[in-house]
Amino acid sequence: MMRRFRQYIDGEFVDAARSFESIDPATGDAWSLMPEADAADVDRAVTAAHRALHDLSWSGLTPTARGRLLYRLGDLLEEQAQALAELETRDTGKVIRETSAQVAYIAEYYRYFGGLADKIEGAHLAVDKPDMEVYLRREPIGVVAAVVPWNSQLFLAAVKIGPALAAGCTVVVKASEDGPAPLLEFAQLVDQAGFPPGVVNIITGFGDPCGQRLTSHPLVSRIAFTGGPETARHVVRNSAENLSHVTLELGGKSPVLVFDDADLDNACNAIIAGIFAASGQSCVAGSRLLVQNSIHDTLVSMLSERVGKIKIGDPSDPATEMGPLATARQHRKAVEVIQSSVKAGAVLTAGGKVPPGHERGFYLEPTILQCPNNDIPCSREELFAPVLSVMRFDTEADGIAFANDTCFALAAGIFTNDLRRAHRLIRSVKAGVVWVNTYRAISPVVPFGGFGWSGLGREGGRESVMEYTRPKAVWINSSTCPFPDPFIMR
């Protein structure tokens, strides 16, 4: 018997009219049945969120009370972190050593946003009219459509759900059709936390009709999307139907620059973390390594040796360092791009094939390709796979030029012990997030996001809560005099 998951709509766990099988990436076999939301399911969820937005059981809560509910949700998440981590590993193939740590840490995001719920402030405006008192108040923007991918889905949902609820909005979350189990199970914690029915709704389904209907729904006022640029373009087109506010957290071909004065042991570990942790399935994956000529061969040799020791295996085994890719589709694309890159002149230095003994499932060896230029397919396309493209550069100016030669601008890594150089590159490299002598570090306090093909807006941090509000200007006439000439604007 396969496990069956249900949608969470208006405070109830309900079936969809149809279901689909979810695949275990470690085996390639179906292991569970997921609800396939159609347009009617989306309508029910959005209608419930719209009703809850105006219901006093939610809108009548003080900001402090909303914050307490978010704190409670964080506590429940921490208590159930291991069970959710195991579920995420089963459904997405991410190794348990990462999902366990990440899910437990996500509780801090809900606590952080819970603490911000009563810190949303307006302003008194000193206008040029002596008898007028004017102030701005911040109000919830409305119903939020939160669309998240399968990778790090509980984290990517937290940076949408957390600020939205802190601001007083209501939410419909669409989990990816690839590996939605953790988010559907997370609905149990939302229910236990005590949020009023309809405040949080969690569904899953395919882009058409589920995603299309949700992002174009007339009752949706805000879309928070994480995914790829091509799907984002559809989301933006859909938003023309409801004129909703849109933020997009998209992908990247993030450069990692290593200079000849860097600590190579530190750089090597950070590079491994940036591209081979999570099997390269991260929007901030450091997939383009740019190495100064004088240390190129040494660093590539160090990486090749380290890559050969990465333990590939069952993602549920705590000793495993790299599991499978999440889908057969991803695996096929990665293999095709590796092959086309070699034909285009790249040199395969490590990996590039299915690891021995792992023919079942969607496994791929950690792969290093040395590229003669930045026009090789593996240097241009976001693969969401453990594939590292390596290029040489001579001068600082050359490194910056290579780093910025991309349509993406999400993250970047800089490795140097020269503080002056680090500051020059921080200013010069196009990226929304820059790590210096480290990589892949996160915190609820720090906003993240990119520009160009990497998206619009930011998630996380104090500012993100304001993105879920809209300002209202209030004018109060304090004069005792009669209203002046009604035919002249004051």
Element (H, E) at 222: strand 220-226
For residue 110, how far is the Cα from the chain centroid? 15
Q: Which residues of the chain have pLDDT under 70?
A: none
Which amino acid is residue 129, in one-letter code? K
Alpha carbon distance 42, 269 (integer Å): 44
Q: Which of 169, 210, 268, 283 is catalytic?
A: 283
pLDDT tens digits along 391-415: 999 999 999 999 999 999 999 999 9
C-alpha angle 330-336-339 in degrees, rounded to nearest 5:
140
Question: For residue 74, what is the DSSP state?
Answer: H
Q: Which residues contact 468 (CB under 8 A, 6 or more apart)?
A: 140, 141, 144, 163, 164, 166, 167, 169, 222
Q: What is the mean pLDDT of the chain?
A: 97
Residue among 138, 147, 276 nearest 204 (CA): 147
pLDDT confidence of residue 490: 79
- The residue annotated as part of the active site, out of 88, 98, 177, 249, is 249
Provide the pLDDT for residue 1: 79
Burial 157-184 (b: 16+ CB within 10 A, else e): bbbbbbbbbbbbbbbbbbbbbbbbbbbb
pLDDT in tens, 221-275: 999 999 999 999 999 999 999 999 999 999 999 999 999 999 999 999 999 999 9
pLDDT at 415: 98
pTM: 0.96
Active site residue 371: no
Question: What is the distance in angstroms between the CA of the first residue and the CA of the last residue of the chain?
Answer: 72
Q: By percentage, how much of the chain surpasses pLDDT 70? A: 100
Give me the domains of the chain, ranges plus CATH numbers.
Answer: 3-250+450-474 (3.40.605.10), 255-436 (3.40.309.10)
